[in-house]
């Protein structure tokens, strides 16, 4: 009887050691991934605002603080702004042809923003921003991580 009890203890001990090793490895892995994700990184993003009124386009000024309208906190600085006339596609009901039509008094704005954030940045992310001069929302169409300032 004593022999069986000794073998069971060794097997139990191996299982407990294995479970502790797996738990310790998972803890270290998750701890490192949480630390990496909470590091604030600097990005230069291009945000596309579609169908913006002409008056608003004229009010956008660079080198201004940019705020996240959802979190209501400063996220970066507006570096540059470019715009072009908005374009829509129109389908003719007569012959079914597709035509590219410029929308009067509407512009597509491309804002270059330098931002520091802990959030994940990716192309297609919807961002709602504001400065003292304007408010708008659009999608990130380009970004790059800034390594050296």
pLDDT in tens, 8-30: 677 787 888 899 999 888 888 77
Question: What is the per-residue pLDDT for 58?
Answer: 85
Question: What is the per-residue pLDDT for 47?
Answer: 92
Question: What is the per-residue pLDDT for 146?
Answer: 82
DSSP states of 16-51: HHHHHHHHHHHHHHHHHHHHHHTS-EEEEEEEEEEE
Angular region, 141: left φ>0, alpha ψ -120 to 50, beta rest: alpha
Average pLDDT over residues 135-145: 91
**Is 0.85 surpassed by the pTM of this model?**
no
What confidence tier does 141 reach under pLDDT thresholds 50, 70, 90? very high
Nearest to 47 by CA among 130, 113, 131, 118: 113
pLDDT tens digits, one per residue of 37-67: 556 778 899 999 999 898 888 888 888 899 9
What's phi and psi for 119, nearest 5 deg?
-75, 160
């Amino acid at each position: 009887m004593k022999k069986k009890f000794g073998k069971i203890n060794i097997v139990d001990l191996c299982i407990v050691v294995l479970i502790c090793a797996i738990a310790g490895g998972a803890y270290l892995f998750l701890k490192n991934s949480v630390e990496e994700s909470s590091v604030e990184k600097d990005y230069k993003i291009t945000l596309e605002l579609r169908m913006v009124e002409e008056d608003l386009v004229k009010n956008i000024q660079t080198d201004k603080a940019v705020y996240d309208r959802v979190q209501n906190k400063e996220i970066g600085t507006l570096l540059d702004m470019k715009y072009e006339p908005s374009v829509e596609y129109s389908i003719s009901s007569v012959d079914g042809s597709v035509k590219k039509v410029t929308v009067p008094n509407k512009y597509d704005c491309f804002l270059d923003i330098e931002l520091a954030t802990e959030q994940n940045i990716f192309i297609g992310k919807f961002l709602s921003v504001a400065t003292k001069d304007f408010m708008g929302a659009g999608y990130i169409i380009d970004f790059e991580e800034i390594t050296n300032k």
